């Protein structure tokens, strides 16, 4: 059976020693009293919930899966899921970072993100039920009317009601402009919505009293394409004026998808048969509200792979220390045993270090982005809000794509550490790999994230936001440029910063002549940008660790941080050389291939 221990020490390092988040919180009137002890205490209890409640039902939930009654369309979640959710509600966890006006605890979003990393390590499939609710809550909190907020947000904050996002349809995938679901206006101001949605995570289940679906649909006079999409609230059960539940609405689960992973989550085909809904925001402006939910979900998906990488690493490390096989190439290490533990072998260490480097770099980026979102939404200074929004827009596709690509690499490597045992279900490793694979696909495939980064976030403003991140790198280089102990961490990002500037200019020039050049380079480009971002955060973490060591701190945590940083810069960041070379090869070898596909 697998193990999981919440990585509280590393979370505390990132929050309090690298980012110094409490100082930032003092700039927010609502967070001015949030201190280190409060954050640590909340996350310690959150870690206990993840490890003791959610984690024990992960493998069993994967084995059992969800079941649908084709007569009633009711969906039953695996054994223990409903009980775990009740414990989650009773502990007040749904309200952690929600607005106090609607019953929330008002803690910073960062705390919720760290808690959710642990939940994702423990049980990604279960965590998706409450996780999607946060996105629906955010969309309604931003774009809902006062009446809609009063009707729905209190129950969503408490966790009594969950939420979904009903976007895609069988024929359109991510191209939502092709959507066909219709919304017919009614005399009472509501709409009757008819259509079919697919791949709706947590679309139907038995864990909450009501499910609040946010549905994209077209009005009768809507323009073609994405500009004709509107957003609607469609509850599973109608809500009476006094807040009680009324009759069942005309939305139901027509079937469950049979999937590679996340078996414990109900991925539904949703049928809307004259379902009654209310408009969110303006007609034909539905993507404004949905993007609030989608962007939150993209950060959440990166967090899912971060959690899976952490739990896979913990299990692979424990196995590598215990499993004995062959002798070390450099001589016997365990003389009292018939073979050495496999952790003595260089390639086993490479696989373990890959996972460790990717999870710790990802954790720093994840925390930084959580702070950016907090500043974008609530900082008292308008310029800070604007700058934070710009930087978060740049980093969101990197969080979604780079962290999920790395999660696939890392969970696969950790399964490899187990050898044949990793392929066997009882160890839990193959489930981590299967669950991780969806994260590269949903919420916009990683190719779409790459196109978004290069096309919309970089080239569309001539690299202005990328230059802002470059200034952060340059500032760190200036601070540590004469520090010989930091040279191995600073020199690579200084060089890569210059290289990515030149690469961006070259691709932009070619893209003006042929847009396929952008499409051909985008995926490679995102990984280069991801490594620049990771390199920056790894350099900052090394900076803190070296200072602690120089000050006489003998905690081996800091030595381990330096050793992992060295591995990252020596073994992982150099992939950028190949990526930049392949990005420059252009579109011709991809597009001039009609004979291949004839």
**pLDDT tops 90 at residue 393:** yes
Q: Same domain for 466 and 593?
A: yes
Taking residues 574-597, report their average pLDDT.
97
Cα(427)–Cα(296) distance, rounded to whole angstroms?
Answer: 32
465 and 393 Cβ atoms separated by less than 8 Å: yes
Model confidence at 309, pLDDT cuts 50, 70, 90, reads very high
- The total number of structural domains in the chain stands at 3
Q: Looking at the structure, do residues 174 and 91 belong to the same domain, yes or no?
A: no
What is the average per-residue pLDDT within 499-509?
A: 97
State residue 470's pLDDT score.
96
Residue 443: active-site member: yes
Tell which of 285, 311, 344 closes a domain.
Answer: 285
Give the residue from 143, 175, 209 where a domain finishes: 143
Tell how many helices (H) and how many strands (E) occur in the chain.
Answer: 18, 11
Q: Which of 265, 285, 305 is the last residue of a domain?
A: 285
184 and 111 part of one domain: no
Within this chain, do residues 122 and 172 fall inside the same structural domain, yes or no?
no
Residue with token string 């679309």 = 203
For residues 206 and 250, membership in a common domain is answered with yes
Contact 195, 169 (CB under 8 A): yes
Residue 187 included in any domain: yes
Same domain, 530 and 469: yes
For the cut 90, the answer to whether the pLDDT of residue 176 exceeds it is no
User: Has residue 293 got a pLDDT over 90?
Assistant: no
Q: Which residues pair with 278 in a beta bridge?
A: 233
Backbone dihedral angles phi then psi of residue 587, each to the nearest 5 degrees: -90, -20
Assess if residue 170 is contained within a domain.
yes
CB 54 within 8 A of CB 122: yes
Residue 346 lies inside a defined structural domain of this protein: no
Distance of CA 191 to the CA centre of its chain: 33
* CA-based nearest residue to 546, from 568, 530, 562: 562
Q: How many CA atoms lie within 13 A of 56 on its CB side?
A: 8
Residues 20, 135, single domain; the answer is yes
In a domain, 116, yes or no: yes
| Rounded (10°) CA dihedral 184, 208, 299, 92 | 130
Which of 169, 443, 517, 548 is labelled catalytic?
443
Is the predicted pLDDT of residue 536 greater than 90, yes or no?
A: yes
Tens digit of pLDDT for each residue in 242-270?
999 999 999 999 999 999 999 999 999 99
Q: Read off the CATH number of the domain in which 191 is found.
A: 2.40.110.20
182 in any annotated domain = yes
* Cβ-contact 145, 182 below 8 angstroms: no
CA–CA distance from 190 to each of 58, 239, 372 (Å)?
A: 41, 13, 37
Tell me the pLDDT tens digit for each residue of 331-388: 999 999 999 999 999 999 999 999 999 999 999 999 999 999 999 999 999 999 999 9
Q: How far apart are CA 260 and CA 57, in angstroms?
A: 18
What is the tens place of the pLDDT at every residue in 31-73?
999 999 999 999 999 999 999 999 999 999 999 999 999 999 9
Q: Which CATH number covers residue 64?
A: 1.10.540.10
Output the pTM of the full model: 0.97
Instruction: Say if residue 497 is in the same domain as residue 595.
Output: yes
Same domain flag for 468 and 595: yes
Q: Are residues 207 and 138 in the same domain?
A: no
Other beta carbons within 10 Å of 498: 12
3-state helix, strand, coil in the chain (%, to 5): 65, 10, 25
Backbone angles phi, psi at 251, to 5 degrees: -130, 130
Q: DSSP letter string over 267-319? A: EEEEEEEEEEEEEESSTT-HHHHHHHHHHHHHHHHHHHHHHHHHHHHHHHHHH
Q: Where are the beta strands (DSSP E) in 85-229?
A: 161-166, 182-185, 191-201, 210-217
Q: What's the domain range around 277?
A: 163-285
Question: Quick one: pLDDT band at residue 288, thresholds 50, 70, 90?
Answer: confident
């Amino acid at each position: 059976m697998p193990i999981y221990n919440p990585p509280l020490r590393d979370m505390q390092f990132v929050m309090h020693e690298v980012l110094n988040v409490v100082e930032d919180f003092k700039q927010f009137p609502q967070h001015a009293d949030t201190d280190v002890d409060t954050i640590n205490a909340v996350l310690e209890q959150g870690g206990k919930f993840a490890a003791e409640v959610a984690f024990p039902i992960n493998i069993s939930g994967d084995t059992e899966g969800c079941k649908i009654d084709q007569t009633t369309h009711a969906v039953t979640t695996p054994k223990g899921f409903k009980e775990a959710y009740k414990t989650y509600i009773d502990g007040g966890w749904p309200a952690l970072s929600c607005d106090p006006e609607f019953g929330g605890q008002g803690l910073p979003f960062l705390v919720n993100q760290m808690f959710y990393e642990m939940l994702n390590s423990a049980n990604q499939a279960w965590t998706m039920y409450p996780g999607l609710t946060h996105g629906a809550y955010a969309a309604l909190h931003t774009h809902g009317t006062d009446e809609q907020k009063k009707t729905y947000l209190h129950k969503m904050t408490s966790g009594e009601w969950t939420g979904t996002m009903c976007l895609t349809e069988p024929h359109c995938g991510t191209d939502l402009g092709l959507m066909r679901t219709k919304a017919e206006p009614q005399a009472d101001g509501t709409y009757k919505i008819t259509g079919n949605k697919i791949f709706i995570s947590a679309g139907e289940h038995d864990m909450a009293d009501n499910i609040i679906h946010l549905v994209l649909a077209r009005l009768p006079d809507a323009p073609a394409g994405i500009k004709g999409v509107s957003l609607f609230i469609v509850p599973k059960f109608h809500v009476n004026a006094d807040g009680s539940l009324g009759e069942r609405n005309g939305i139901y689960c027509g079937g469950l998808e049979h999937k590679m992973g996340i078996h414990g989550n109900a991925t539904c085909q949703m049928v809307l048969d004259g379902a009654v809904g209310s408009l969110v925001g303006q007609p034909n402006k539905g993507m404004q509200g949905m993007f609030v939910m989608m962007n939150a979900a993209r950060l959440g998906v990166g967090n899912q792979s971060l959690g899976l990488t952490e739990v896979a690493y913990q299990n692979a490390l424990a196995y590598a220390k215990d499993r004995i096989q062959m002798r070390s190439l450099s001589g016997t290490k365990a003389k009292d045993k018939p073979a050495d533990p496999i952790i003595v072998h260089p390639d086993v260490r490479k696989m373990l270090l890959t996972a460790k480097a990717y999870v710790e770099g990802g954790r720093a980026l994840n925390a930084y982005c959580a702070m950016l979102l907090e500043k974008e939404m609530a900082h008292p200074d308008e310029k800070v809000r604007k700058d934070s929004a710009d930087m978060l827009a740049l980093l969101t596709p990197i969080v979604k794509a780079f962290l999920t690509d790395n999660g696939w690499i890392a969970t696969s490597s950790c399964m490899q550490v187990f050898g044949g045992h990793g392929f066997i279900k009882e160890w839990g490793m193959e489930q981590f790999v299967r669950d991780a694979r969806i994260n590269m696909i949903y919420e916009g495939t990683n190719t779409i994230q790459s196109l978004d980064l290069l096309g919309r976030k970089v080239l569309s403003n001539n690299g202005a936001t990328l230059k802002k991140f470059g200034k952060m790198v340059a500032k760190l280089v200036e601070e540590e440029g004469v520090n010989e102990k930091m040279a191995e961490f600073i020199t690579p990002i200084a060089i890569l910063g210059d290289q990515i500037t030149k690469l961006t200019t070259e691709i932009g020039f070619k893209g003006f002549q042929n847009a396929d050049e952008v499409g051909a380079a985008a995926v490679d480009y995102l990984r280069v940008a991801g490594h620049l971002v990771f390199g920056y955060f790894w350099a900052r973490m090394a900076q803190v660790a070296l200072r602690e060591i120089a000050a006489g701190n003998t905690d081996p945590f800091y030595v381990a941080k330096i050793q992992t940083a060295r591995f990252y810069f020596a073994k992982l960041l150099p992939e950028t050389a190949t990526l930049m070379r392949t990005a420059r090869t252009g579109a011709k070898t991809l597009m001039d291939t009609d004979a291949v596909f004839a």
